[in-house]
Each structure stands twice: as C-alpha cells, then as structure tokens.
Amino acid sequence: MAAATAVALAAGMTGCTNDSGETPKSVASEAGAAVQSATAAAASEIAKIKGGLDAKSDVKAGPTEAENNRLFNEITATNPTDKAVDYTVLVNWKDSSGNLLDATVVSIDAVPPGGTKSAKAQTHRDLSGTPPAEIGQAIRH
C-alpha cells in the first residue's frame, strides 16, 4: 500500500508546477546546481592556499542569523601563535538531515598574536530557517 501511494504521489507531482511554471524536479535540480557551484568555488579558494596549517580548532562559528532571506554567521579566529597570521575558512550550512545547503569561504586577515578577530560569512542564496554554520576547514597561513 505504501509503495503504491508513493508511486501515485510521484506520478501526480510530475505535472505540478510552481507559480513560475517550474516543476518540483527542476527547482530541486537548480538548488543542487547552486550548491555544487558554491562548493566548487569554495574548494577552489581553499586550494589556492599554499603552506598553511590545519587550524579548524582555532575557529568558531557564532549563531545563525537571517536577513533578507540570507543567512549569516560571525566567524571568529583565535590565534595561538606569537605572530600575526591570516585564516582562510570554509563555512558550510547543512539541513537537519546533514544535506549541504550552501558553502562559502571567509578570509580573516592579520589576526594578532594571542588575539581574536572576526568576519561575517553569508550564504550565496536564499535559505529558510536558521541552520547552524559548520567550519568545514580552516587554514592558518
């Protein structure tokens, strides 16, 4: 019975469109493409860093806030070294199922020795809710 219901629902949805004439499948496909594009751009930025050290433990994400359907988080780096350093941070937003919704890279430059400095990470596209930001990768250089 459940399988028949799922097939019937799927068949019924194939003809559904939203207000702009898009089917659920095309909207989902566009969202997936946007996430892939953001992820590729973020990976490209991270790959440009040469000679950096893994510094994920130096970096924390603040609470998620929403403004005009975009999400943002304050990202704070704490420099444990005795010289000023820069951080390049990959920030991910995931839904409650662990699916990647968006990704961006934030640079935090000239963090003083033993000090902290913050930058704002913002989603590339409109997202609903306030999923937490996760530090995917952080490089101290």
**Contact assessment for residue 51 and residue 42, using Cβ atoms and an 8 Å cutoff:** no
pLDDT of 14 strictly over 50: no
Q: Where are the domains of the chain?
A: 25-140
Average pLDDT over residues 48-65: 95
Average pLDDT over residues 93-112: 95
Summarize pLDDT for 111-141 with one digit per residue, the tens.
Answer: 999 999 999 999 998 998 999 999 999 999 9
How confident is the model at residue 11, as a pLDDT? 38
How confident is the model at residue 30, as a pLDDT? 53
Between CA 27 and CA 25 the distance in angstroms is: 6
How confident is the model at residue 139, as a pLDDT? 96
Q: CA dist 18 to 14, 23, 32, 128, 131, Å?
A: 12, 6, 17, 17, 25
Q: What is the pTM of this model?
A: 0.73
| Tokens read off for 115 | 């000090």
pLDDT of 77 strictly over 90: yes
Give the DSSP H or E segment for 86: strand 85-94
Average pLDDT over residues 43-71: 92
Q: CA dist 139 to 46, 50, 90, 91, 136, Å?
A: 8, 10, 9, 12, 10
Between CA 34 and CA 44 the distance in angstroms is: 15
**Count of positions (residues) in the chain:** 141
**Within a 10 A sphere around the Cβ of 52, how many other Cβ atoms?**
16
Going by pLDDT thresholds of 50, 70 and 90, the confidence category of residue 42 is: confident
**Contact assessment for residue 92 and residue 106, using Cβ atoms and an 8 Å cutoff:** no
Under CATH, what is the fold of the domain 25-140?
Answer: Immunoglobulin-like (2.60.40)
